[in-house]
Amino acid sequence: MGPMAAVRPERTVIGGSLEISRMINGLWQRADGHDKKSDIAVAVEVMDNLTHRGLDTFDMADHYGDAVLALIHTQNRTGYWRAQHYSTWCEHGSIHQMVPSSDWSQDLENAEAAVDLALRRMNQKKIHLLQYVIDHAWDFSDDTYLHNLDHLRILQERGKIGLIGLTNTDAAHLELLLDSGFPIATNQIPTNVIDRRLTRGRMNDLCLKHDVGILAYATLLGGFLSEKWLRKSEPASMDELNWSLRKYLRFIWAAGGWGPFQVVLEALNTVAQRHGVSIAAVATRYVLDIPSVKAVIVGSRLSDDSEHYVERNLEAFQLNLSKEDLLVIQEAQEGLTDIPNDCGDEYRRAPILTAAGDTSHHFEETTAAKPTRGSCSWQTGRVLVWKQVGADRCRKILHPWVHSRANEIVQGYCRAVRAGNVIRISGTTANSPIPTIPAIGGCCARSQTVRVLDIIENALKALGSSLSDVVRTRIMIRDASVCEEVSRAHGWVFQMAGVRPANTLVTAGLVGDHMLVEIEAEAEVECAMAGVYSI
């Protein structure tokens, strides 16, 4: 084989039209919390070199420090690079900000202005791949993300966006969006030899079925999957680690701890020694060989020592893992514990696996905002009072009160009523806030069930409760043939909530031709903490 410089990364096509490198340069290490200083001139030289080596796809966001500025300089110098513009869409859809400054869930003009700003900064007429960052939406029970994705779809039709992708979206909601008709091309999620949720859950098969490409990040666990940590003691303090290492140390804990992690690292080293490559190359190849993975995203500092890492990263493309290699890795993985929940849930459900170990700092920022109309068209000002002053204050002001929407007032009923600690939720269908979509979830009863329970969860939260307080559900389906898929979706949601409510499931003639399932629910506030007995 020739010199390492001759090694070129594999290439792939996503969305049927966009060709990219199978190794993407992730520029999050340009952000604060990683390098203390940043040299734009060096970054430009490194990006220029990366494109020559075939590593011409970049993952960036404005909160990645000066990443966009470096890219613009590189664009001005070279004419052949491709960029994956990874724009951050927060709760209200602002671009280039971590905290939303305006609510464009009902306003296409603000969404278009945000995309236009990105285009101007990149000096482009179209963003080839724009990924909606679901982990900053936090909560699927808030339908803001549906409005935002609908705006992105319109801007795609106008030619300002090529492909639409997601980040950190679980299988149930990815399927829901696909069944609703949203053109999703990619899902960016963490995947590595420790975090195997992609293959041990539904995500891999779902993506293969719908030709959704996985863009895998955290393939090296922020750097833990390297010789540097082999046979080393567990870090004594989080303060000694950068953001990425803090985050992925929590993943290691969730997967069983430092001991099982070291067993896997030893296995990777055994395979690496056999092939004369680095541990990182073996860990990267392992992920590249997962059928649904289109590309891996590898952190790049764009610094003076980046060439060393480029050489080591490219080793993954001269490596073929044999059955014996995979057996060594699989045997080591038997000591691991599965990472809880589904892909992306580390931002939404305990255990929260972020650098800080929680998301409180994000909520503290957003609750400081002035009261505005809620992202769900049926939320009232009283719901916002609860969100901003806290549940205890809300109970004093609003106990008992009702949660209504306009047409419910006309028809003489409420979505949900709280009397004392008891909440009763009316029959709920997969209502769509998007006029062009008759029902969220389309013709899939399972996806409609997920949407219904999202709406129920939102009503519970507005009344100071949660799905964990649900003690009874009643499910009505149009056709008995969908019984199993509806039941499985119901079971998944309440498994995530940690409860198993009493349930009745019957067939019924539902109102609305597109509605396949309707659910009622009852909850008792804080009953999950008070103790509930079941048989």
At residue 68, the pLDDT reads 52
pLDDT for the residue 41:
73
> Is 93 part of a structural domain of the chain?
yes
The pTM for the full model equals: 0.85
Closest listed residue to residue 291, CA positions, set 217, 199, 189: 199
Among 159, 161, 154, 201, CA closest to 185 = 161
The answer as to whether 366 is a domain residue is no
- At residue 505's C-alpha, the angle toward residues 504 and 509, to 5°, is 130
Would you say residue 357 lies in a domain?
A: no
Structure tokens at 325: 């290699």
One domain, residues 39 and 121: yes
Per-residue pLDDT of the chain (535 residues; tens, 9 = 90+): 334 446 889 999 999 988 899 998 877 655 554 455 556 777 777 777 787 888 888 776 655 555 455 555 555 544 433 444 333 322 222 222 222 234 445 688 888 888 887 787 767 788 888 888 765 556 899 888 898 899 999 999 999 998 999 989 999 999 999 999 999 999 999 999 999 999 999 999 999 999 999 999 999 999 999 999 999 999 999 988 988 899 999 999 999 999 999 999 999 999 999 999 999 999 999 999 999 999 999 877 666 766 777 888 899 999 999 999 999 999 999 999 999 999 999 988 889 998 888 875 554 443 333 323 222 222 332 232 233 333 333 333 333 445 455 666 777 888 999 999 999 999 999 999 999 999 999 999 999 999 999 999 999 999 999 999 999 999 999 999 999 999 999 999 999 999 999 999 999 999 989 999 999 999 999 886 666 666 6
Is 337 domain-assigned?
no
336: Cβ contacts below 8 Å, ≥ 6 apart: 194, 196, 255, 256, 260, 264
Q: Are residues 113 and 190 in the same domain?
A: yes
One domain, residues 181 and 38: yes
Cα–Cα dist 522/474, whole Å: 9
479 is a domain residue: yes
The number of domains in the chain is: 2
Q: Is 368 part of any domain?
A: no
pLDDT of residue 218: 94
Q: Considering 296, 321, 346, which residue would you say is the last residue of a domain?
A: 321
By residue range, what is the domain housing residue 521? Answer: 376-530
- Residues 315 and 452 grouped into a single domain: no
**Given 321, 344, 363, which residue is the final one in a domain?**
321
Q: Which residue has the tokens 């044999």?
A: 322
CB proximity list for 215: less than 8 A, separation 6 or greater: 24, 59, 165, 186, 187, 188, 189, 293, 294, 295, 296, 297
pLDDT at 119: 80
Which of 222, 223, 184, 181 shows the shortest CA–CA distance to 203?
184
Same domain, 310 and 457: no
CATH number at residue 517: 3.30.1330.40
Residue 140 counted as domain residue: yes
- pLDDT confidence of residue 486: 98
- H or E stretch at 133: strand 127-133
**Same domain? 380 vs 308:** no
Distance CA 89, CA 110 (A): 12
Report pLDDT for 310: 81
- Residue 251 belongs to a domain: no
- Co-location of 92 and 194 in the same domain: yes
Between CA 182 and CA 193, with CA 132 as vertex, the angle to 5 degrees is 100
* Residue 308 sits in the same domain as residue 440: no
Alpha helices in 305-357 (DSSP H): 306-314, 323-333
d(CA 529, CA 149) in angstroms, rounded, equals 36
Domain boundary among 278, 305, 321: 321
**Are 86 and 173 in the same domain?**
yes
Please check whether residues 411 and 301 belong to one and the same domain: no
The reply to whether 107 and 196 lie within a common domain is yes
| pLDDT value for 38 | 59
What residues have CB less than 8 Å from 9, skipping those under 6 apart?
Answer: 21, 22, 23, 53, 54, 55, 314, 317
Spell 423-448 as b/e; 16+ CB within 10 A means b: bebbbbbbbbbbeebbbbbbebbbbb
> Do 424 and 487 share a domain, yes or no?
yes
pLDDT of residue 244: 86
DSSP-based three-state secondary structure for 164: strand
CATH number (domain holding residue 20): 3.20.20.100
